[in-house]
Amino acid sequence: MTEHEKMLAGYLIYDPFSEGMAEERTKAHRLCKLYNDTFDTETAKREEILSELMPNRGEGVYLQGPIYFDFGTNVSMGDGSYANFNFTVLDEGRVNIGKSVFIGPNVVMATAIHPLCYEDRNAFFNTETGVVTNLEYTAPITVEDNCWIAASVTVCGGVTIGEGSVIGAGSVVTKDIPPHSLAVGNPCRVLRPITEADRLSNHPELFKK
């Protein structure tokens, strides 16, 4: 397997400074900067940048900006999904975001995983490639359709958030969340299921006439 293939496969050690990966990240960071320098009204310019940075997206995807991606090309985002300010994605591994997903400000999705032992984690000189590098591996992230990821949530690699779930502000998601759940905290835990009782039609007090 190539180092790229190992990176995208997940759970395999790879060299993140080989096979042009550093150059790919630099390109993505440049495109993010260009996007972040646009105004909300520059729709055509934003679409042009996103077509190169994050081509795997559906209709009606909107990224408020600023945005920060390591690759961009490893992220897919379904129709009608939205991300607020400071959306940060370390997409060394694959990040699959479904349809109609709401993402609040300052959300981080991080697929890259570094070894726990510093002897394995620290940078070293690779005599084969002639560059300083380190070793890491990835784990994918999946956010299924119709989820709401509230402000300042961190989603760690290897996590799947089930359809229709809501993740409370400030949570750190380290394990899978089942569908239609309200989950909060650090580490994030399921508080309760989302039920018919949560429908706005059952809360007339919220509608002021």
Question: Catalytic residues, which ones?
Answer: 114
Q: Give the angle subtended at the CA of 96 by the CAs of 196 and 113, to the nearest 5°.
A: 115
CA dist 101 and 168 (Å) reads 14
Going by C-alpha positions, the residue among 65, 34, 38, 66 that lies closest to residue 52 is 34
Residue pointed to by tokens 């002897």: 119
Whether a cis peptide bond, with omega within 30° of 0, leads into 178 is: no
Alpha carbon 44 to chain centroid, angstroms: 24
One-letter identity of residue 9? A
Dihedrals φ, ψ of 70, to 5°? -85, -35
Residues 143 and 98: beta-carbon distance below 8 Å: yes
